[in-house]
Structure 1
Amino acid sequence: MISFYRWCVNKYHGGDSPLGDLASDMKGDKNFPKKSKDRNELLSYLRFKNACDGCLKSFNYAFRIYSSEVLNERK
């Protein structure tokens, strides 16, 4: 199963949108947990890095899409 990082970067990197910005920031962060599929782990990392509210909102939105498309979870 594809990680959130790989899914988000493949789908949104290079786009002129908040999700494109998120994907670019993730790709530029050499310490981002690239293999994780866990929302809480990823959110904790973003908070540890002092991500702004806009970034956290984009992450939560993207993770809902990821959950639906990849993890097959309905929220």
Structure 2
Amino acid sequence: MTFYTFMIRNHLNEDTPAGDLAQDMRREKEDFPRNRPCKFDGWHELIRRHLQRKNACDECLDTFEECWKEYVRCEKKRLNRSL
């Protein structure tokens, strides 16, 4: 699953910083960068730079970092189960 899909499925309806990020991503649906499923290398930095270009605040960038770690952990766990 992509980071975008992960955020929408797991955080969109939350009243949390992660929920705020997911809502911002959804509003920007057409322009938000989307990695291919299980492609992590380089995408972290690409998405972070995108958020910085959009003038994301420090709290948003911190939230992105936490969510990215959660995303990678969940995807790697999911991949290991399917082997």
Query: Aligned equivalents of 1:18 and 1:52: distance in 2?
Result: 11
CA distance in 1, matches of 2:62, 2:50: 14
- Structure 2: state its 5+ residue gaps: 78-83
Aligned residues: 70
Letter in 2 for 1:32: F
TM-superposed deviation, 1:49:
0.7
Aligned residue in 1 for 2:31:
31
Q: Distance in 2 between matches of 1:71 and 1:45?
A: 24
Q: Which runs of 5+ in 1 are unaligned?
A: none
- Report sequence identity in percent: 31
Structure 1 position 71, deviation (Å): 3.8
What's the TM-score, normalizing by structure 2?
A: 0.78
Q: Hey, which bits of structure 1, 4+ residues long, moved more than 3 A? A: none
* RMSD of aligned alpha carbons: 1.2
Name the CA shift for 1:71/1:44 in 2 (closer, same or farther; >3 Å): farther
